[in-house]
């Protein structure tokens, strides 16, 4: 996890500074973004995303994760830049959630999407087909049996 932050060290926004708590909040943003992205990638049902906090995070949650007081973050001189960055991350996470839901919304889950009436109708149709196949199978077996019988036995059976 530390390697991840070291790789991102070169790409830090200009509001991040080692002189104040902005570096901590920035790292907390990255960690929370990764956690929420993992949540989005593991879930695909609309019901999984009922609560917004499951796929986005709050500024207070980020400050808690960073181990600093929320008031310290809001009192930073570049708070507007921090807030903009925070909103961009949450907006991106919300877009990813929507794309994830679109990706899986059209997929069929088999018979679970059919109504009871449709299922009853399909079952009765399948039963009728099965009876027809049974009848054909019985006829075919009898015809095969009769064709293999000796002629004198056939004559006795079918007088």
pTM of the model: 0.60
Q: Taking 80 as the threshold, does the pLDDT of residue 149 lie above it?
A: yes
Tally Cβ neighbours within 10 Å of residue 93. 20
Mean pLDDT of the chain: 84
> 8-35, pLDDT tens digit by residue?
556 788 888 888 888 888 999 999 999 9
Q: Give the pLDDT of residue 1.
A: 56
Q: Give the pLDDT of residue 2.
A: 57
Q: Taking 70 as the threshold, does the pLDDT of residue 101 lie above it?
A: yes
Q: Give the pLDDT of residue 141.
A: 85
DSSP track, 53-80? GGT---HHHHHHHHTS-HHHHHTSTTHH
Q: Give the pLDDT of residue 108.
A: 57
Distance CA 25, CA 102 (A): 32
> 60-94, pLDDT tens digit by residue?
999 999 899 888 888 888 888 888 998 999 999 99
């Amino acid at each position: 996890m530390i390697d991840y932050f070291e790789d991102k060290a070169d790409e830090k926004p200009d509001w991040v500074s080692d002189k104040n708590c902005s570096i901590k909040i920035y790292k907390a943003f990255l960690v929370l973004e990764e956690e929420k992205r993992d949540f989005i990638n593991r879930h695909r049902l609309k019901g999984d995303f009922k609560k917004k906090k499951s796929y986005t995070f709050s500024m207070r949650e980020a400050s808690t994760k960073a181990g600093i007081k929320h008031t310290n973050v809001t009192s930073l001189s570049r708070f507007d830049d921090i807030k903009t960055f925070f909103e961009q991350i949450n907006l991106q996470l919300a877009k990813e959630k929507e794309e994830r839901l679109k990706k899986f919304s059209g997929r069929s889950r088999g018979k679970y999407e059919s109504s009871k009436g449709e299922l009853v109708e399909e079952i009765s149709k399948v039963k009728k087909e099965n009876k027809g196949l049974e009848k054909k199978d019985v006829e075919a077996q009898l015809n095969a049996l009769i064709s293999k019988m000796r002629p004198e036995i056939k004559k006795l059976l079918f007088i």
